[in-house]
Amino acid sequence: MKLSRAVTTAACGLAALALAAGCSSSGGSAPASSGANQKVDLTFWSWVPNMDRIVAAWNQAHPDIQVTFTKAAGGDAELTKLLTSGKAKTMPDIAQVEYQSLPTMVSNNYLADISKYVDGVRSDYPDGLWNQVTLGTGAVYGVPQDAAPLAFFYRTDLFKKYNLTPPATWAQYQSEAGQLHRANPSVYLGDTATTDGGLFSGLTQQAGAKWWSAKGDSWTVGIDSPASRKVASYWGALVKQGAVDNKTAWTADWSKALDNGTYLSWIAAVWAPGTLASEAADTSGKWAMAALPQWNAGDQVTGSWGGSATSVTADSKHPQQAAQFITWLNHESQGTDLLVTDGSVYPASLAAESGSALAVPSFVSGQSDFYTQAKQYSKEAATATWGPDVNVAYSAFSDAFGAAATNKGDFLAALATVQQKVVADMRTNGFTVSGG
């Protein structure tokens, strides 16, 4: 499954040669501050597992650009740290940033525009993802690392046992969920997909919602929009009927339900097989992936849950070298292969998505076309639009929807609360928000 160490090393050696050649031609025009032979030290925060090995491979091949890697805490935690160190101008040179956090970072002016260093990579990424790192401007605030389109993951053994097929539409999901639980009160088709803001926003993207949009100098917040309301009331009804379970995602309780077969399916992004390894260790090989159920039969749309870019911070004194590393990591096949094999990342790079390193994950071992499908979903993912305070929205979301799910309460009221809190937060912070 994994490339042997020898092969990896050899590949990196080749990459070094290729890059060295590439550098001397393109870097010749800007010898300004750091001389050609001067050694550059870069610092790098990321939470990709085994990134230390990937960085070691780079360092070995690039004696002039040495990267010191620090394993950061994931997602929100790292964003908090970046925002704090940004105030003191002590950010690392390079950081992994989730797509939805990019506007927050950019709005604080903490990311460097690396458009002039990453000219050639644009065509390697789907439009939806590239749009995330440019925020629709001419600047480039990072290179996409992973894609995270939503899909429907189900237990093949249990689906056979209960005589189910992966639902093609949400209507079918609803009827299957209700029938299953009525006939077998100890199991559920799945959990409510409304306890994690990332997942819920992905589902609303599928329904066509745009949580943030900008026109002129003002923002519009569309969290409480008809599309989101459709998704919220759908899940609210399922929870109220008791057709899906209302446990909070990512708790030990919930893991146990995934592990012991209480849940027959899980709506998640293509990174799910890796996560299942820790959340439901007993179920290896029993899963398969299908397309996310659709609102209208025959559609082919999905949303995204998570995913991140690698960015150069505004504090970096060597943006060019940092961009070079990022390009290697997320675009060159040596880097993306290592990301896949060692980092268990589903790469954003289109070339890598058909690369040789992609082996079917053991949790979906029965599904030989896993990556072909994943690539398809990646293309079908609706473009996500993020605003400058997504983490506030997610936090308000888990408060409001957590309570609504636990008490089987009013999901539409919860949605309105989230909208109201986000608008209030943006106004407090001085943004111009049109409407309410």
Where in 187-206 is the site for another protein (CB under 8 A)? 195-196, 198
20 scored as a contact of another protein (CB under 8 A): no
CB atoms within 10 A of CB 403: 13
Distance from C-alpha of 244 to C-alpha of 125, rounded to nearest angstrom: 36
In this complex, which beta carbon is closest to another protein, that of residue 19 or of residue 140? 140
Q: Does 1 bind another protein (CB under 8 A)?
A: no
The yes or no reply on residue 282 touching another protein (CB under 8 A) is: yes
Tokens of 201: 């926003």
How far are the Cα atoms of 96, 136, 320, 357 from residue 42, in angstroms, in the given order? 14, 28, 11, 27
Binding mask 59-98 for another protein (x = CB under 8 A): ---------x-xxxxxxxx--xx-xxx-xxxx-x-----x
Residues 51, 54, 58: CA angle, nearest 5 degrees:
135
Task: Determine if 186 is a binding residue for another protein (CB under 8 A).
Answer: no
User: Of 366, 369, 428, 436, which one interacts with another protein (CB under 8 A)?
Assistant: 428
* CB nearer to another protein: pick between 87 and 160: 87
Residue 342 found at the interface with another protein (CB under 8 A):
no
**In angstroms, what is the minimal distance from the CB of 298 to another protein?**
30
Which span sits near another protein by CB under 8 A: 45-53, 170-178, 221-229, 321-329? 45-53
Which residues from 345-384 bind another protein, rule CB under 8 A? 345
Which contacts qualify for 174-182: CB closer than 8 Å, 24 or more apart? 174/234, 174/237, 174/238, 174/243, 177/238, 177/243, 177/244, 178/238, 178/241, 178/243, 180/264, 181/242, 181/243, 181/244
Q: Which residues contact 247 (CB under 8 A, 6 or more apart)?
A: 191, 192, 195, 253, 254, 257
Does residue 103 touch another protein according to CB under 8 A?
Answer: yes
* Euclidean distance between CA atoms 95 and 80, whole angstroms: 12
Question: Based on CB atoms, which residue is closest to another protein, 60 or 80?
Answer: 80
Site for another protein in 309-338 (CB under 8 A): none
Binds another protein by CB under 8 A, chosen from 407, 413, 435, 436: 407
Q: Give the whole-angstrom CA distance, residue 409 versus residue 420.
A: 18
Q: Of the listed pieces 47-55, 224-232, 235-243, 295-303, which binds another protein according to CB under 8 A?
A: 47-55
Q: Which is nearer to another protein, 24 or 407 (CB)?
A: 407
Dihedral of CA 219/307/159/243: which sign?
negative
Rounded to whole angstroms, the Cα distance separating 8 from 292 reads: 35
CB 244 within 8 A of CB 180: no
Residues 24 and 364: their CA atoms lie apart, in Å, by 44
Query: Would you give the binding string for another protein spanning residues 205-234, x where CB under 8 A is met?
Result: ---------x--xxx---------------
Among 38, 60, 372, 432, binds another protein (CB under 8 A): 432
Which 242-281 positions form the footprint of another protein (CB under 8 A)? 248, 251-253, 255-257, 259-260, 269, 271, 274-275, 277-279, 281
The partner residues of 93 in beta bridges, in order of sequence, read none
308-312 and 94-98 strand pairing:
antiparallel
Instruction: Please give the size of the binding site for another protein, defined by CB under 8 A.
Output: 89
Interface segment toward another protein; rule CB under 8 A; list 117-125, 162-170, 294-302, 303-311: 303-311
| Closer of 164 and 340 to another protein (Cβ) | 340
Q: Is there binding between residue 293 and another protein (CB under 8 A)?
A: no
Pick out residues in 161-180 that bind another protein (CB under 8 A). none
Furthest CA-CA distance within the chain = 73
Least separation in angstroms between CB 201 and another protein: 12
Residue whose token pair is 């040669």: 17
Tell whether residue 236 is a contact of another protein (CB under 8 A).
no
- The least CB distance from residue 218 to another protein, in Å, is 8
Q: Least Å distance between CB 5 and another protein? A: 15
Give the CA dihedral 260, 265, 266, 272, nearest 10 degrees: 80
Minimum distance between the CB of residue 271 and another protein, rounded to whole angstroms?
A: 4
